[in-house]
Chain A
Amino acid sequence: MSVLRPLDKLPGLNTATVLLVGADDALLQQLADSMLKTDCASELRVHLARSLPLPSNVNRPRVDLLVFVINLHSKYSLQSVEKSLHHVDASFFLGKACFLATGAGRENLCSVHRNTVVRLAHTYRSPVLFCDLEVEGSRAAMAQRLARMLQISAGHVPGVSAMSLLSLLRSSESPSLEDL
């Protein structure tokens, strides 16, 4: 069970699960707490992981949304995320995965350029979101956004599928990527 597949398990009733993958534990915990605080009609489950592959002995529900958290202040987080990407099935990138880059506001501390993350997201055809997880307001807004994306990925929003959300999120990014 080394590769994470999106649809290998049946979904739980009214349940949506998000898996946050990132090297920075504190940030992940904060984000998880904010997500659980958001108002959501369905029940949210947040799982945290430092890297993939996940140990296969644990019984866990099917993952609806996969969020890779990259801290722009540390190159190690980028490297661990890149390593984890190999253990993800390709069908995850049809709208059930997204990249979250944090810490872009403070330029002097950034060791990873934001264009690197943008290009990484472009290779995997997934949306990339920017926020500052250490600021309360930004974290709460991002948590709400992720909760909404999670609901759509889990299929709880009728009429909108994960792939249509993907193409919706794509159109604003692509013009800038042509210059990259």
Chain B
Amino acid sequence: MESQPEKRAAAEPADSGGEGGAGGLPQVAGGRSEDRVTLLLRLRAQIKQQLVEYKSMVDANEEKTPEQIMQENQIEDKIEELENEIEEVKIAYEMKSIALNRIQRSTALQNNLEKIDAKNSEFMDNMKQILKLNKLIIRSQKESRSLERKRLEIKKKRLDLKKASESKLLEIQTEKNKQKDDLDSMENSDKIKTIRQNLQMEINITTVIQHVFQPLPDLSQPCYLLLGPSDGRKSSILSQSGSQPTTSVPEVQEVQRDDDPSSEPPLLTWSNEALCAATGRCLKPLSPGWGAEHIPVVAFG
């Protein structure tokens, strides 16, 4: 293997000497012995190569070729596969030859190291430089590998965190949905409806009672029956004892506020009996001189 590059290098200078116009084998008489030797070496290499080719063809023909007629795209695929195989074999061969060359060169160097004394220093310098560079390479490769590992770990952690957050969010979502479903189911249940109906009824009762009982505190205070003019001017009621003058004013105002949109103040005719029943005490019946047939009472509540 190592001799072949030498032969090739020797073939180049032999070209100019080897080929005349005649070509073919150079004249034995005129050629130098070195030319003959290089020619012979070259022929030897040629014959070797041609032998290898023939051998490989023979080996290839021994394989069984597919007899059946395959479809065109199948053939194409097959061809691609074979081409890939060829490439792989080539690459493997190249790698091996490189490794072999390196081994051969190092052994040759080892063997010749003692002989070459004068160039020792150069070799030593080269070797030292090579060693330094190799160490540097190894160190940086180690660093890059550790960094790569760290990066991978961080990525893994991030992925784990992501997954955990995903699961948590999913949990939250399911909980929310469950709550929503519960709420919806609750709202639609019959219990709630009956409760609501009862509630509504209670509310109605209380409003009615409210309306009934609201005027009572005002009626509990004795109110004076005023004989107002028949044309219906506004009449005010003076509240009696128990109420301070301060409270009279708002009462009066209240009366005015509670006025109907009509110009006439609201007039309620209360019979004596009703008044007694409402207030709980009897009022003295008025003398007839007072015009009892029409007693406008302004009451507010």
Contacts and interface: CB of A to CB of B under 8 A. Distances in A.
Interface string A38-61: 011111100000000000000000
A157 B49 contact: yes
Interface in A127-164: 154-159, 161-164
B50 interface: yes
Contacts of B43: 13-14
A14 B25 contact: yes
Contact of A43 (B8, B24, B50): B24
B49 A162 contact: no
Interface string A7-37: 1000101100000000000000000000000
Does more than half of chain A's interface fall in helix, strand or loop, or is it mixed? loop
A116 interface: no
Q: How large is the interface on B (under 10, 10 to 19, 20 to 34, 35 or more residues)?
A: 20 to 34
Interface string B34-48: 000001001101111
A2 interface: no
A158 B90 contact: no
A125 interface: yes
Contacts of B50: 11, 154-155
Given A39-B19, A167-B86, A91 B14 contact: no
B23 A156 contact: no
Interface of B is mostly: helix
A163 B83 CA distance: 10
Contacts of A14: 24-25, 39, 42-43, 46
Interface stretch (B52-60, B127-135, B141-149, B229-237): B52-60
The interface size bin for chain A is 20 to 34
B88 to A, nearest CB: 11
A159 B83 CA distance: 19
B18 interface: yes
A41 B46 CA distance: 11
Given A13-B43, A41-B18, A41-B42, A167 B49 contact: no
B90 A164 contact: yes
A39 B15 contact: yes
A155 B54 CA distance: 10
B23 A7 contact: no
Given A14-B46, A167-B87, A158 B8 contact: yes
B57 A158 contact: no
Contact of B14 (A41, A44, A125, A159): A41
B5 to A, nearest CB: 9
Nearest to B82: A125
B7 interface: yes
Contact of B53 (A40, A44, A155): A155
A46 B211 CA distance: 129
